Each structure stands twice: as C-alpha cells, then as structure tokens.
Copies of this chain bind each other. A is one copy, B any other.
Amino acid sequence: MLKIKDMYIGETVSTTLLVKSAEIKLTKAQKPYLFAELTDGTDTIQAQDWEFGNNQPPAKNAVIDIVATVTEYMGKKQLKLFTMKPSNVSVETFAPSGDVDVEEYVAKAKALMESITNQYARDIVVQVFNDNAKLWKTTPGAKGVHHAFVSGLLKHTVDVATKAKAIAELTPMCNVDLVVAGALLHDMGKLWTYELNGAVIEMTDQGQMLEHIMLGAMKLEKYRTPENSAVLDLILHIVSSHHGELEYGSPTTPRFLEAIIVHYADSVDAKAQIIIEANNRVNTDAKFTDKIWAFGNKQMFTQYYVHEVMQ
C-alpha cells in the first residue's frame, strides 16, 4: 500500500488507510462535509470529502480504501477524498510501528536470560517470559513520550538489560546476574498496563488504577517458592525502585547497587530513545529538534548537527 510519505502533491492516489477520527463539519456557508484524520501506521494525514453531506462518518479504527487527490495546505499534505469504502485490510496493519525486529529482540532476550547463572533468578525470568510470550511480542512501551509503538516494551526491556549488563560488568562488587534479571523484569507490569485498541494505544483500567510497578510486583509474587524467596525479593525490589525516586512513582528507593544500575540504565535508555524519536521527526539538515517536553520543553541540537561538527 502507498505510504503517506510517498504521496506527492497534485497526484491522484488509491490506497488503504485507517480512520483515527472522523466527524461532520460545516463550511462557513453551512454546508456539511466530512473531516477525518487517517493514518498508515507511521504518519497521519487530514482528509476532507466536500460532498459527503450529512451521512454517517466512518468509525474510529475503521479501515478504508480511498481514492483522493493530494493537496497542500499550510505546508502540509492533505487528501481531497473522492471515494471511500470499507477495506479487507486488518486493523493491526495500522498500529503504530517502531520497526522493531521482534524475532531479533526475542533472540536477544533469550541470550540475556541464558547468561544468568543463578538458577532461581534465571527460572523466574524464563517463566515470566514464557507465560506471557504473546504479550511480550506486541505490548507497547507507553502511550506517548517514548517507545509508544507495537513491541516497544520488548525493545526497551532488552535495550535496558543490555546497557545495564555493560555497566554492571564495569562495576566492582556488582552481581551481574541480578542486574540482568532485574532489568529484564523491571517493566513487566506494562504487559497489563498498555494495550492496543485497534490501532490506538490505551491504558487498561488496571493500569490506570495501579500503574506498572505495582502490577509487575503483584504478578511476580505468584512465582515465589520457598527456595527462590530471597532471590525473588531482590528482583521485586529492583522492580519497585527502578524509577529511582518516590516522586516518580517508585514506592521504594534503590537499596543496593544492582537496583541503582538498573535505574540508571532505564533512565538513559528512555532519554536516548526520546532524542532518537525527536531526530526521526525532523529533516537530516535541521539544527534543532522540535521542543521536547521531557527536556524542559527545550529544542535539542539534532544528532545530525553533532555528527556534522564531529565528522
């Protein structure tokens, strides 16, 4: 299917898109028309059907085959719709994508698990992944800010564990097993916190009421045995404390070295991902990104600029 980024102004296109929202508006002359936001999973485009009249607009998450002319308004592409009908393409096709290679990340996760030499820790991690294998493959990492795409949780989890392992191996007195196990499970509660509704990421009721740290601990508790109990408590503490400070939602602050390392690996991976996503949203010749809320609503210098200076 034709992607939005490959549409050119002036041409007439036939393609399939998903409806994010649609409503009837009125022109100044009080004539009703259809106004819709359509997505291909990566980008979103506004569309009008000036002859739509007072018909029923398509539902949120509907997938539609369209014919339209690509126009321009205020420097952005728009679609002037001619025809529009229900499509056979599945909704999932349009879910927000971060281009995660799921198989590659599953393999990385397995390698990390296998690197854990402590049997209790390894078994807990393996069981949590096996018991929720399907959720791990698709769950987004968030609703916004960073990793807000299908498989975002898996990507973030593996990337944090990889970075945490690298730091741990450079740190005296640190138990690498515990860092890897804690990192792999630190955000596991997000499996029940975020879900795809059609192509829209939403928070579950449980997610809203309990948030991912609490949910992770509640689920992890089920794996307790008399033998693994002390190990499980250490892992639970890493889950509980990984936001680092109470005001960021952690009911406890880190109390041993491994919890500190997972906290910082989580922070640096999240912040780096925000930067990367912001760079992906601007042209490669831009000096500044858009304003980023997570960085004091400042514009960041782009990595393109940094690399140009450092070439």
Known: A300-B256, A306-B178. A162 touches B170 (CB 8 A): yes
Known contacts A28-B27, A73-B26, A249-B246: does B303 contact A257 (CB below 8 Å)?
Answer: yes
Q: Is the CB–CB distance between A260 and B271 below 8 Å?
A: yes
Cβ of A70 under 8 Å from chain B: no
Residue pair A306, B25 in contact (C-beta under 8 Å): no
Contact B175 A170 (CB under 8 A): no
A75 CB to closest chain B CB (Å) equals 7
How far does the alpha carbon of A179 sit from the alpha carbon of B153 in the complex, in Å? 27
A interface residue count range (under 10 / 10 to 19 / 20 to 34 / 35 or more)? 35 or more
Give residues 274-306 of A contacting B (CB, 8 Å). Answer: 275-276, 279, 295-296, 298, 300-303, 305-306
Please determine whether B255 and A213 come into contact, CB atoms closer than 8 angstroms.
Answer: no
Q: Per-position contact with B for A144-187: 1 when CB-CB < 8 Å, else 0?
A: 00000000000000010011001100111111011000000000
With an 8 A cutoff between CB atoms, is A51 at the interface?
no
Chain B proximity of A207: nearest CB distance (Å) = 10
A1 within 8 A of B: no
Is A295's CB under 8 angstroms from B253's CB? yes
Which residue of B234, B272, B310, B311 is within 8 Å of A261 (Cβ)? Answer: B272
Knowing A173-B276, A253-B296 touch, does A209 contact B234 (C-beta < 8 A)?
Answer: yes
CB distance from A293 to the nearest CB of B (A): 13
Which chain B positions have C-beta within 8 A of A25?
A: 74
Q: Is the CB of B252 within 8 A of A251?
A: no
Q: Judge whether A260 and B275 touch: CB under 8 Å.
A: yes
Fill in one digit per residue for A9-29: 1 if any B CB lies within 8 Å of its CB, else 0: 000000000000001011111
Assess whether A43 is interfacial by the CB under 8 Å rule. Answer: no
Report A166-222 residues with CB < 8 Å from chain B CB. 166-167, 170-175, 177-178, 205-206, 208-211, 213-214, 217-219, 221-222
Closest CB in chain B relative to A261 CB, distance in Å:
6
The verdict on A209 contacting B303 (CB below 8 Å), with A25-B74, A247-B246, A309-B231 known, is: no
The distance from the CB of A10 to the nearest CB of chain B, in whole angstroms, is 13
**A134 is an interface residue with CB less than 8 A from chain B:** no
